[in-house]
Structure 1
Amino acid sequence: MAGQSETFCNQPLRFSIPTRDARGRLVRLDEVLAEILAAHAYPPLIEKTLAEALVLTALLGASLKEKGSQLTLQTQTEKGAIRLLACDYKDGALRGYAQFDPATVAALPDDSTLLGIFGKGYLAITFDRMKPAIEGGGRYQGIVPLEGDTLADAAANYFVQSEQIPTLIRVAVDHVNGRCVAGGLLVQHLPEGEEGRERLHVRLDHPEWEHVEIIASTIARAELADPSLPLEEIVWRLFHEEQEVRIEQGHPLSKGCRCDPVHIRDVIAKFPAEDRADMADDAGDIVVDCEFCSRRFPVSLASFNN
């Protein structure tokens, strides 16, 4: 394995195993996760579920290399404790929030599965790539049922069903020194021809993929969520017997709520004056709530007359 350098939390790690036609990503969220969760007083079950969703968003978003590209992960449900869960990633900026029914959540056990938390629903994953369409750019969305025990299971099904890529995803959420820490591993099979040549048919039972999947499955939850364990060390523990493993640091992650008073005012200014008047409260302010950071932005009607 080339190079062993210290890896800190909140910075994804990409790796590839050329002789096995496999690639992967690792991420661990600590300080960034604490900042995002601090905006809302989530019950433990909701906190754990949102933390898992944020790890998945970071794992998927880390594949985007073009500046301005965005990955959005969102659940759509009919009934359940969580009515809406939304996360996105853009240029290393990560954000997310969950809307839930407190009474329903209070009645659920801590080890509830997807069905218990969401009821019947779907997981939507949207890629917005900032490059020409002929090179795979533009918007692409895949929607799969919320099936399995965890969001990681549903996300793995997305890759199998929507992109026909054999994928293993593991996510762990734990509390370390009084705060939530979460980590995740994503490993995929890339058949010969993936890079620059016609892609061959993907086989879930491909012998190279079976080998990588078995090894990757041995990852322990404690390893993924341990902030003192460098991500490079996890790759080494799993794949040190391979002929070659290449690693690459991903874009450092940060809390990424993009609400901005100037931008909000510019958006409101595009509405006709009569519509703005209807939006205003008794004090003459149009108040915009940001669900991601739990902040309110009042914009005075009088400011549009200047």
Structure 2
Amino acid sequence: MSSAAPAEAVLDTAADDFVVPFAVEGLDVRGRVVRLGPAIDTILARHAYPEPVSALLAEAIALTVLLGSSLKVEGRFILQTQTDGPVGLMVVDFEMPDKIRACATFDAERVAAVSNNEATDGETIGALLGSGHLAMTIDAGPHTNRYQGVVPLDGGSLEEAAHVYFRQSEQIPTTVRLAAARAFRGGTDRAYHWRVGGIIVQHLPPAGPRRAPDLPPGDVPEGADIPDLEEADEWTEARLILETVEDHELIDPSISAGKLLVRLYHERGVRVFDPTDILERCRCSQSRITEMLKGFPPEDRADMVKDGEIVVTCEFCSSRYHVDPAILDD
């Protein structure tokens, strides 16, 4: 956050592939807005996911960028869901400060069955995810310990899971909004393309957030009475204002991040900081794949050989790598 300016003066033209921090000093809140267009479209187009799976993965990517971009460390922030639902696995890998990749596995028949049911967007997302867990991992490098937070998924949305995480693990009052949809971009291809947007707001007063007592699995014994902590008036106002955001406002390229923030918090003097461009980048390469294969036992590598070579397809970007088995014994 090297510089700040009134929201009206910033991001009037930037519409895609960025995350921007902001602050509303009058309400003691900080936050970030993410908008992804071509980057998210590229990720999803590589896999030809069914539309509900694409929308769900897009929201997971936006949430990952919102959370990972707040970290002031080098390394990776990884969001992963593993559930019994039609979308059994999602992995989003954010290489700080600006590179993103993602993939998902799903059961096509079960996804189609959910899609054919009449349900709200939130109910559809919950049905796609099913029950399981969401894990968020900070990997700051080989010489540091990983930090991981895990929250349950039980038929709810990614927004709800994020709220549970911050309430139980970080104990910081937090609200998240996410939206994804295909939109008409115009231009020569006359086609629809994916867009996703999100916003996070957190109550961070100068004296520090008022933390509630530990929730399970914290230090409080199971079954103990946990008193409610009265919500600060500033946070109540900030939260209720954010809840007025409509999905189309998060993804409409004609509504810049600056304009959205002015609509929400202009009376309290919202300020935005320098945006960070978000790039779609996979970490795979010929050398990485070769080194990975060298780590397998020779008998396992022998089982991988087809027509005199080993072919590896990257789950994230679908790139195919052809490796001569002879070089793996060097």
Q: Counterpart in 1 of 2:326?
A: 302
Counterparts in 2 of 1:204-283, with a 5 A limit?
205-242=231-268, 244-278=269-303, 280-283=304-307
CA contact (8 A) 1:2 1:245 kept: yes
Q: Counterpart in 2 of 1:102?
A: 108
Equivalents in 2 of 1:285, 1:131: separation in Å?
A: 31
Equivalent pairs counted in the alignment come to 294
1:17 matches 2:24:
yes
Aligned to 1:12, the other structure's residue is in SS state strand
For residues 285 and 186 of structure 1, do their structure 2 counterparts lie closer, same or farther at Cα, with a shift above 3 Å needed?
Answer: same
1:87 matches 2:92:
yes
For residues 301 and 190 of structure 1, do their structure 2 counterparts lie closer, same or farther at Cα, with a shift above 3 Å needed?
Answer: same
What residue identity is the alignment partner of 2:38?
E
Q: Counterpart in 2 of 1:35?
A: 42
What residue identity is the alignment partner of 1:87?
V
CA contact (8 A) 1:113 1:149 kept: no
Percent pairwise identity: 40
Match of 1:158 among 158, 162, 165: 165
Match of 1:187 among 189, 193, 201: 201
CA contact (8 A) 1:62 1:250 kept: no
What residue identity is the alignment partner of 1:122?
H
Aligned to 2:18, the other structure's residue is in SS state coil
1:54 matches 2:61:
yes
TM-score, normalising length from structure 1? 0.88
Following TM superposition, by how much is the alpha carbon of 1:293 offset from its aligned partner in structure 2, in angstroms?
0.8
What 5-or-longer segments of structure 1 have no aligned partner? none
- RMSD of aligned Cα (Å): 2.3
For residues 282 and 216 of structure 1, do their structure 2 counterparts lie closer, same or farther at Cα, with a shift above 3 Å needed?
Answer: closer
What residue identity is the alignment partner of 2:136?
I
TM-score, normalising length from structure 2? 0.82
Deviations 1:74-116 (A, max 9, x none): 1111x22111111121131111111000111111136443441
What 5-or-longer segments of structure 2 have no aligned partner? 185-191, 213-228
1:122 matches 2:133:
yes
Aligned to 1:109, the other structure's residue is in SS state helix
